[in-house]
Structure formats: structure tokens, C-alpha cells
Structure 1
Amino acid sequence: MIRTPRRRREEPLDHAELTRLLPAPGDPELSSDRLNRLEEHLMTEIRNRTSDTASDTSPHASADTSPEAATGAPPAGAHSGDRAPRPARRPGRRPVLVGAAAALVLAAAGAAGLAGGSGGSGGPASSGRAVAPPAGAVPAPVVQVVRGTTAGLAGAVADISGAAARAELPEPGPGQFLYVRSEVSWLVSWEGADGKSRSYVDTIHPREVWVSPDGDKGWLMEPYKEAVDRDGITLDDPEGGERTLNSPSYDYLRTLPTDPGLLLKKIYDETGGMGNGPDQQAFSTIGDLLREQVVPPRLAAGLYRAAARIPGVVLVDDSVDAAGRHGVAIARTDEADGARTEWIFDRETYTYLGERTVQTRDAEGIEAGTVRGRTAVMDRAVVDAVKQRPAGLGDAPPSA
């Protein structure tokens, strides 16, 4: 056996000699044809993985979610720059796999000049010109961050929970489906040819989800997303996995306690060790349940009252959802990244309108005031089949 003499600890490495022995490094720049093939391969992998795991996906996404989050998302997002919501499992994470893979593609595109190499309007990275942002992305809006306060929080929560308890929401029957239609937009991860990150978001677009009461069957339509076919993707779960707070169904929600204290204890117990601390995770869990679900009225009222007991929750006097509707908001800022998630309610009826995530301080290349994600719930209904819409909206296209 040939043994390599062991170098004594005090003998320094001769780096100059090693450099001469090693071959010269190759040119790291890929050809435009190679970049095109890489992009096509990545997008094919996204579509394949999305089809294989659609039953586990859903917008920070969200933004936070989330929402940015992936809508959303990106939810339902790209989820993405923000953690995105998950239909049927964690509503609103737009599917998570889609968002994460899309963010990977976009980051690669910005760093390597992929947009320029594949026919984008920008030139290659080596040219010094800015690479075009992702298709469909627009600069993220920047708003004045309104200070939140605990003053008036208790009264607002009493009004909101009271309205939720009185709500006449549809009750699904055997073989029916819960339908939720939203408008969503989530943060897009993108880095320009100059190496600087810029805040872009999806153009606000529709998202529709159909889910059976037991959560085992469903459908998602979000044709704006490249990894989601125009006809949509299945959310069926043939194995019918166990339902939890992070994998809920309507039938599961009906089993939860409605007392705020018992609810909050269950949420802390089940989500311990997740997310950016127990308080933020508890708030995010409640937000996920509200974003893309039909929640039984008494449970919704209990969830709002439970949320008000979480440390750091405040009342924001004015917020705007993805449909441009103004309202008051129950909000909490994630101490880890400075993103504040706001649940928005109508000022007069106190009904849930949607969600917004705003950056409260400069962090991770995102400036304070940047709107990382927005959602707006436009319809909640019960229908008889997937891709069937409530009266007046028309039916979705038939399956291919």
C-alpha cells in the first residue's frame, strides 16, 4: 500500500506551487443557447413537480403570503420572495413549490442574464445594461407606513368578531365544494444585472380555489402563474391525510373550540417551534385560516378574539386590499424581517376584505413602505362541482 506522508502541522501550504499545478479556471459565462436550455429545463421541472405535489400546495407569502407569499403567491407567491399561502392545506400559499421554484428561476435569470439570452428586452449581464424584470412583474408600490396602536384594538375586535358571528355563510352539503375567488399579488424575487435587488410584485390577478368539505378534493385556477396551466391544477389528496391547523379542511374547522382562550392554547401547542417565534407563528396560522377558507361563523369570531391576545398585535387605522378597498386592520409585525401583515376589514360592516403585507423597515434589500403582497376576497360560496362558479360568474373552462 502506498501511503501519503503526513504533513507536519507547522509546514505551510505552498499556494503558489498549487496554483501552478492546477489547470486554469474556465470561463464561467454560459452561452445564450445554454442559458435558454437551462431555463426550459427549470420550468419543465417546476411544472412536473407542481403536478406531482399539487395536493400539498397553497400565497408570504405570505406574503407572509404572503401574503406575500406567494400569492401569493405568495399563497399564495413567490411565497417567492414571500412565504406564499397553500390552498386546502394552508390557504393562500399560492402553491409553495411553484413560488419557490419560480423565485429560483428569476434569481438565476437576473444573475446570469437569462432574460437577455432568451429574447428579453434587456441585454446580457456582461453588457452593463439592466436585464428586464420578470414578465408580468411591476415595481412594488411604496406607501407611508401608518403606525399601529393598541388603543381601540379591543373595541374594533369586538365589532369584527360580532360581525363574523352573525355572518350568514354557506353550509356545504354532501358532494359540494367550497369556492373562494380572490385578487392577489405577491413579491417577486429578482436581481438585476448590476447585482442589486429590486422590489417587484405580480400584477394583481384572479385566483380561484374549489375544495371539498373534507379537503380531499379540490382545484386551483391561477392562469397568471406560468407553472399553473390555464385550465388549473388538481388539489386532490387521494390519501386523505390527517387534518391539523396547518392542513385544515372545513370539516376539521368545525371540530375546533370557539372559546378564544382554548383556541389560542391549541394554536400555540400545535405550532410550537415553527416560524419566527411562537407569537408570530400563531398570528400567521390564524391568518392562513382566514385567507382562503370558508370559516364557520362562531369559529371566525373566536379566532379574531384569540388574535387580539397575541403580544404585538395592533390596530392600523387605514389599509388597502388588492381591490383598492380601504378599511381598518388587525396587524402584527414579524420582528425577524420587519414585514407587517394586516388583515383588513370594512369600516362599516366589519367584514373581512383581504390582507396586505408592508415592509416597516429597510431589510433584505426591501425598503420601508414596500407593499410585499395584497389579497382581496371577492366571493365565498358553495357550488356543486369543481370549476363551477356561483350564479352570475359563469363556469370555468372544461378540463382538457
Structure 2
Amino acid sequence: MKDKAPTASPRSRGDREELARLLPAPAETRLPQERHLHHKERLLNRIDNDRAGRSRPQPRRMPRFVVPVTALALACAVAAGITLTGHDRDGVSAQRDTVVNMRPAAALLDQISAAAGERDAPVVRDDQFVYTRKKAREVDLTSGTAVIGPLKDYEKWLSQEPGPLRKQGLIRTDGEAADLNAELGDTEGTPAGMNRPTYSWLSSLPTDPEKLLTYLYAKTPRFEERERDQAVFEQIGYLLGGVMPPDTAAALYRAAARIPGVTDAPKIQDAIGREGIGIVREDTRYGIRTAWVFDREDLTFLGSTSTLTRRTPYGGPGTVLSSSAETGHGVVDEAGQRPAEVTTQGAGRES
């Protein structure tokens, strides 16, 4: 069953943004992926403002992460009820598959997909929690220059109940615990879906790559002036890693191969220095390169990085905006409990 979260009106989105501006900043309750999106919002604001010659930043229709009831990572309304085809999805023609199959990135993603589809499917009950362990560096933009922070340890326990839930689970940052609360605006709680991808919900997604991509283009939030293909690529990246149904993981990789602008990177590192191969896409409007890192031997997902590709107010080409490394995952019965057996990421050791 697919996520049926209602579409928010423009007025409700405006109310959420205004509320976010008025409320104080909370303790950290999310993984670096969401915090990275917050910093990216500020960065895109700054670039837009400089291009337009404005001295004061103007608000963008992007998620904010300053509210106690959790970050608005991707909690803006989804485009529910939209049906897209290979012809009307941002002008991508029905001949795209022929072009895709000629790209090196498509061949690599096909291998990654095949490896993912061969992995064992775990048993995950609705009354359990999916545990994910990772290390990450986050960028600080408060000084006006991107300054990458120290490596931090993160552990997350995500409830698998379909919901809606007011309390999604638990997260520990360098040992300090905090609740994962419902998304802002979800007064009755956040249901399983794009913003809270439970194992059962992931299993319900289409496994045909074209149908899955159509679904993702329909459901990924739209932001003014945001490159659509990049938004969908990053939405897929948000879903990767952790405990994943093999068929869904395989379909996600094959869907990503159909997104225009996706390329490969023969040599790339995650946050802890594990070298692998990468799948990359650049947001050409803003000069931000997002990469997924995979182990060379077993093709498991290791983590992601985001860097600048050109000079911006926050730094020059190569400036790191975020870097993560997933080191293990599993399934447990209670939040805060560590699995007796943790599935480690990658065939090699951590650096």
C-alpha cells in the first residue's frame, strides 16, 4: 500500500514556514542527511541572492530544520494523485531507455542492482525497530564560509509501525539520545511513507524501475526553481542504506539509472576514508555534486558525499558540504537496543 499523505495547500506550507521561523532551534533529532538539506537550503539562498544582487537573504520554498517536532527534511506536501508518463515527466521521451543503456553509469547501476537483488531478505515485524549506525561530518555555514565539522557517531532506531506516529523512534549523536518526533504539521503523527520509510512501506513500492521512477517523480516534493531530476536523485539517496527489501533496492538503482545527468565516479571516498566507486549527479544550477559511494568488492552502499563544483559565497570547487559513512544495521525489538548481530557495510574494514 502506497503512502497516501494528503497534499498540503500553499497556505498550509506558508504557515509551516512561518511557524518554523518563530520557534527556537531544537536539539538534534535527525541524521546528517536532513541537516545537510538544511545547510543546502541556506547555501542555495545565498547563491540566488548574490546572483540577483540582493543584500538580504530571501526565503525559499525549502524545508527548514528549526522546529522541536523534528526537522522538515522532506515534510512538505507530496504531489499526491499525479500520474506521469515517460513522455510528460519533465520532457523525458520514451526513447530514454535506449540512451540510458549506453551510459557507463547505467551499466554500473545495473551491476549494483543485481547485487542488491541477490541479498537475503530479512524478517521485519511492524512492532520492531530498524537500527542504523553511521558516522558523518556536517558543514557549518554560520561564519559565511563552509566549515566541515568533526566526525560524529550516529545511531538511529526507526519504529516499523505503519502509524501515523507522534514518536518515530530514537537517535543517539555521540552517545546523546533524543526522540525522533512526528514531522511538523503531522498533528496526528507521521505515517509510513517517503518521510518515514519503514520496511513494509518500502516493500510496497513498485519493483518495475519505470513505474517506481514515475511514482518518485510524483511524490517527491516540488520546490520553486529546484531542478526536478536532482530532487528525485536525492530522494532516492535518502531511501538508500539500512535494512532494505532486496527487490526494492534493486528497483531503486535501476530507476536512478533512468534519471538524466547521472554519471559514475571510478574513485571516491566516504566519511571514514573507505574508497569505493560512485554514482554521481550535479545540480548544475547551484554547482553542488551529490555522490553515492559503493564498496568495490560487494557493491554495498557505503555512504554519500556532497561537494561544491564551482565558486560560491561559501567556498570553491571541492568544498565539502556533507559526508557520511554507514557502518552497520539490523533489526531489534526495542528502541535503544543494539542488534546481537550487526550487518556491516562493505567488504573491507573501516578506516
State the TM-score, normalizing by the size of structure 1: 0.59
Superposed CA deviations along residues 90-147 of structure 1, whole A, max 9, x for unmatched, are: xxxx993379x99xxxxxxxxxxxxxxxxxxxxxxxxxxxxxxxxxxxxxxxxxxxxx
**Displacement of 1:231 after TM fit?**
2.8
Q: CA deviation at 1:210?
A: 0.3
**Mapping 1:1-400, distance limit 5 Å:** 45-47=24-26, 59=32, 65=33, 70=35, 74=36, 78=39, 96-97=65-66, 151-191=103-143, 197-214=144-161, 216=165, 217-223=168-174, 230-235=176-181, 239-271=188-220, 273-274=222-223, 276-291=226-241, 293-391=242-340
Structure 1 residues 382 and 392: CA distance shift in structure 2, 3 A: closer
Distance 1:97 1:271, change over 3 A: same
Cα RMSD over matched residues? 3.2
Residue in structure 1 matched with residue 88 of structure 2 by the alignment: none
User: Which stretch of structure 1 is more off in the superposition, 321-330 or 246-255?
Assistant: 246-255
1:79–1:96 contact (8 Å) kept in structure 2: no
The separation in 1 between residues aligned to 2:40 and 2:137, in whole angstroms, is 10
Q: Secondary structure at the match of 2:25?
A: helix
* Gap regions ≥5 residues in structure 1: 1-41, 60-64, 84-93, 103-149, 192-196, 225-229, 394-400
Structure showing greater radius of gyration is 1
Q: Deviations over 1:232-279 (max 9, x none)?
A: 224368834344334432221111101100000111122263371221
Amino acid at match of 2:24: E
Q: Secondary structure at the match of 1:283?
A: helix
d(CA) in 2 for partners of 1:317, 1:156: 10
Alpha-carbon distance, 1:45 to partner: 3.0
* Distance 1:183-1:165 versus aligned 2 partners, 3 A rule: same
Moved more, 243-252 or 347-356: 243-252
- The structure-2 alpha-carbon separation of the partners of 1:359 and 1:375, relative to structure 1 and needing over 3 Å to count, comes to same
Distance 2:121 2:155 in 1: 18
Q: Is the Cα contact below 8 Å between 2:127 and 2:161 reproduced in 1? A: no
Question: In 2, distance between residues paired with 1:244 and 1:231?
Answer: 24
Identity of aligned residues (%): 33
Instruction: Give structure 2 stretches of 5+ with no counterpart.
Output: 1-20, 45-62, 72-101, 343-351
TM-score (norm 2): 0.67
